[in-house]
Amino acid sequence: MLIKTDYGEIVEFKTSRTAFGRPLYLAHFFLLDGLLIDTGPAHTATEVKRALINAPVNQVAITHQHEDHTGNCSFFEQELKIPIYAHPDTLIIMKSPPPVPIYRHVIWGSQPPANGLPLSSKLVTEKYTLDVIHTPGHSIDHVSFFEPVNRWLFCGDLFLGEKLTGFMVGENIADHLQSLKKVIALKPKVLFCGLKGRIENATERLISKYEQWWNIGLKVKELYKAGISRNNITKIVFGGELFFHYISQSNWGRCYMVDTIIDNLSIFNNQ
Ligand SMILES: [Fe+2]
């Protein structure tokens, strides 16, 4: 599935593999003035090629190394000969992608190897200059792109919605909160999110997310200090795991949010 929405200066591409006519998990990428931000998952390669083979793309920038963002890099690099820019850690994964867990392969597909160039501090198009901001937490290589005149923030998987209550193995709450603080300080007006697409009231939504996670952190800290086990904290705070935890073969879970909060307990002081 690929749905193209024209927002004037920015074109949004909403993609997903479908099962029984329903999208499995959405991945959005965006085109701004010849700059393509992310490329969608490999399972949507046919639709992406059809939609973009003659599109005015002259450079690609990647927010992070996950396969729903890098899945079609090889098409742009090898078939269209368009340069791809990414964080140095993203480039390492892109060049030699490790096998992904089965559920990720089923939903998004594995990314074919691709080469790119390291991002510098700015991304320049004909009309715009975007700041490249390192925003780790979701992954160590995660970057966001900020256009300061219109206050557009292309935030990859930094946001994903306020109510997200689970992490993949390895996500880091301290980095995540720090990254949210960093982008909130920019006062963005519109978010362009990997999962949710275009979102208005960007700063308010980011603050709301920050506060929800902060409050979860305080609650987990209180329970942990009271001697409650990690398993029981997950049950008390979240009501247990979502079904996706089991689908992901324990690669994603609310327990990892609890774990990373406990690993970073010292940051959760009453502000
Ligand atoms: Fe991601």
Total domain count, the chain: 1
Average the pLDDT over 21-47 and give the result. 96
23 within some domain: yes
* C-alpha 157 to ligand 1 mean position (Å): 5
Q: Which residues surround ligand 1, an ion (CB under 5 A)?
A: 66, 157
Condensed to tens digits (0 to 9), the pLDDT of residues 89-140 reads: 999 999 999 999 999 999 999 999 999 999 999 999 999 999 999 999 999 9
* C-alpha 225 to ligand 1 mean position (Å): 31
Mean pLDDT of the chain: 97
* C-alpha 4 to ligand 1 mean position (Å): 21
Q: What predicted TM-score, i.e. pTM, was given to this entire model? A: 0.96
pLDDT at 168 over 80: yes
Band (pLDDT 50/70/90 cuts) for residue 269 is confident
CATH number at residue 167: 3.60.15.10
67 within some domain: yes
35 within some domain: yes
Q: Which DSSP string corresponds to the chain?
A: -EEEEE-SSEEEEEE--EETTEESS-EEEEEETTEEE----GGGHHHHHHHHTTS---EEE-S-S-HHHHTTHHIIIIIS---EEE-HHHHHHHHSPPPPPHHHHHHT-PPPP---EE--SEEE-SS-EEEEEE--SSSTT-EEEEETTTTEEEEETS-S-TT---EETT--HHHHHHHHHHHHTT--SEEEETTTEEESSHHHHHHHHHHHHHHHHHHHHHHHHTT--HHHHHHHHHSS--HHHHHTTTSEEHHHHHHHHHHTGGG----
Condensed to tens digits (0 to 9), the pLDDT of residues 141-156 reads: 999 999 999 999 999 9
Residue range of the domain that includes 57: 2-212
Give the pLDDT confidence score for residue 238 in this predicted structure.
Answer: 97
